[in-house]
Structure 1
Amino acid sequence: MSKMPMVFVGHGSPMNAIEDNQYTRNWREIAKKIPKPESIISISAHWYTKGTRIMNEENPKTIYDMYGFPKELYEILYNSPGNPKLAEHTKSLITTPNIFDNTWGIDHGTWSVLVHMYPERDIPVFQISIDATAPPEVHFKIGKELKSLRHQGVLLFGTGNIVHNLLLIDWGRQDNGFDWAHEFDDFIQENIENKKHENVINYISLGENAKLSVPTPEHFYPILYILGATDGEDKISIFNKGYTMGSLSMTSYLFV
């Protein structure tokens, strides 16, 4: 089977689930550009756990892991089936300790994007959690271990934000970023494009810009899984290069 592309999406606000904007339109376009996956495995910033956890339910639930948003958001049901057989195989590929865990579900990091990409909800989806106790190198290594799934019709889907600092949000800056956000986002982009993955893994070396852009790592780590699963032949496209409220970058990557 030919190799499936991969996507890292800057998902931004949950409101994107119900909005029609440049970001959501591009998500829809990306889905048209790539082959329809047989299954989707999502690594979402919003499932951040001790150790690696994998869903293996037949019908994972929709999780509303956000507060104070319009009622319409809490009525979205992303009721795609799960894929227990693929979950079992995925578990066997990951060499670091991992367990099945169905206490979570499909969270807004995943469904706020997939409602636009695959609104039919007919593709099996499950999530792998991000191990909060593991260093960046381990997330990259897990990505490497998942690489073979690309030849089995699986879309590896990372969802977070390269720059994500909610404490420094400036509501007056709807469409532009702080200088430090641009600098960090550009540094990561340059190293992804040049396939210098060690610099992305060692993002903290950027000092103050890294601390401001990645005050906690859960929104950054999903890109490491995707980079781990790349090969030398992948062509990289950047889409949704942009910023919102100063301290969030929406920059997204397609690997084909």
Structure 2
Amino acid sequence: MDSTFYISHGSPLMSIDDTIPAGNFLKTWKQKVLTQVPKAILIISGHWETHVPSVNSVHRNDTIYDFYGFPKPMFQLKYPAPGSPELANRVKELLLASGYEHVDVDKKRGLDHGAWVPLMFMYPEADVPVCQLSIQTKRDGTYHYNLGRALVPLKDEGVLIVGSGSTTHNLRNISRGNDSAVPTWAQEFDAWLKDALLEGRYNDVNQYETKAPHAKMAHPWPDHFYPLHVAMGAAGENSKAKLIHHSWTNGTLSYASYEFAKDK
């Protein structure tokens, strides 16, 4: 794989709501974004938090409905992608070799909605093996960037690395409907991130808490942002960021998504 990606998965409603632009973008994935079929997918979701890096190692992924209060049809969706114990073991091997003292392997966990919702659009046949990697919310952006750096060899092994979160994620400050005005704080954080990534200021992104405007407002908790750092680090040295999608829903949810590829 030449690139790694960060996808803003936003609201779980994207799974059934055709009016959400990001879903329509993801439907074009294999035609417009990545025509090469990956050997396997390693996805880092903001919905799996652990104390130490953890990977799931199953033969078939269950669909986890880690949300509530949504329409019943959402709980009937299935994404039975095969797992990849081989990839799980390889991830553990790379992380241990990079100095991580403990890496857990979960032999029961399936895919949470941060993983299966975007993948349902990207690879609807659910025929590409998927392995999920957790985040550690008590660590910082630099830690997750270095986590990604440890995974760089996977790209040459045909593995697609995808971080899945939300560019802005403050669930206490969202509006109903997709046509609400975007508040200044969300616009300014989103614009800062775009400029920092496109200008290659990755260290600023790693230190976004002190570098970015309205950082705590955009991300009261860092769970949906750290997958970006992993994808950014996994692209390797001299990588260049590209904005591949941008839209808003619910006033404050930015679906900005990025590709990271080596600058030739």
Q: Once superposed, what is the RMSD of the aligned Cα atoms?
A: 1.7
Q: Which amino acid aligns with 2:228?
A: I
Q: What residue in structure 2 maps to residue 217 of structure 1?
A: 222
1:122 aligns with 2:127: yes
User: What SS does the aligned partner of 2:5 have?
Assistant: strand
- Kindly provide the CA deviation profile for residues 145-169 of structure 1, in whole angstroms up to 9, marking residues without a partner as x: 0111011111101100111000011
Q: Specify which of 136, 139, 144 is matched with residue 144 of structure 2.
A: 139
Q: What residue in structure 1 maps to residue 13 of structure 2?
A: 15
TM-score (norm 1): 0.93
Deviation at 1:192, TM superposition (A): 0.9
d(CA) in 1 for partners of 2:140 and 2:168? 18
Q: What residue in structure 2 maps to residue 5 of structure 1?
A: 3
Q: 1:173 to 1:13 in 2, by over 3 A?
A: closer
Larger displacement relative to structure 2 (27-36 or 75-84): 27-36
Q: Which amino acid aligns with 2:199?
A: N
Q: Given that residues 244 and 258 in structure 2 are in contact (C-alpha distance below 8 angstroms), is that contact kept between their aligned partners in structure 1?
A: yes
Q: Specify which of 103, 106, 109 is matched with residue 104 of structure 1.
A: 109
Q: Given that residues 26 and 239 in structure 1 are in contact (C-alpha distance below 8 angstroms), is that contact kept between their aligned partners in structure 2?
A: no
User: What SS does the aligned partner of 2:176 have?
Assistant: coil
Deviation at 1:175, TM superposition (A): 5.0
Q: Given that residues 58 and 109 in structure 2 are in contact (C-alpha distance below 8 angstroms), is that contact kept between their aligned partners in structure 1?
A: no
d(CA) in 2 for partners of 1:54 and 1:228? 18
Deviation at 1:19, TM superposition (A): 2.4
1:36 aligns with 2:33: no
User: What SS does the aligned partner of 1:218 have?
Assistant: helix
- Kindly provide the CA deviation profile for residues 127-154 of structure 1, in whole angstroms up to 9, marking residues without a partner as x: 0010123222111101000111011111
Deviation at 1:126, TM superposition (A): 1.3
Deviation at 1:59, TM superposition (A): 1.3
Q: What residue in structure 2 maps to residue 166 of structure 1?
A: 171
Q: What residue in structure 2 maps to residue 58 of structure 1?
A: 59
User: What SS does the aligned partner of 2:134 have?
Assistant: strand
Q: Given that residues 175 and 242 in structure 1 are in contact (C-alpha distance below 8 angstroms), is that contact kept between their aligned partners in structure 2?
A: no
1:184 aligns with 2:189: yes
Q: What residue in structure 1 maps to residue 77 of structure 2?
A: 76
Deviation at 1:214, TM superposition (A): 0.8
| Runs of 5+ consecutive residues of structure 2 not aligned to the other structure | none
Deviation at 1:225, TM superposition (A): 0.2
User: What SS does the aligned partner of 1:43 have?
Assistant: strand
Deviation at 1:210, TM superposition (A): 0.5
Q: Given that residues 51 and 133 in structure 1 are in contact (C-alpha distance below 8 angstroms), is that contact kept between their aligned partners in structure 2?
A: no
Q: 1:233 to 1:29 in 2, by over 3 A?
A: farther
TM-score (norm 2): 0.91
| Runs of 5+ consecutive residues of structure 1 not aligned to the other structure | none
Figure out how many residues of one structure are paired with residues of the other and give that number: 254
Percent same amino acid among aligned pairs?
34
d(CA) in 1 for partners of 2:234 and 2:122? 21
Q: Given that residues 193 and 212 in structure 2 are in contact (C-alpha distance below 8 angstroms), is that contact kept between their aligned partners in structure 1?
A: no
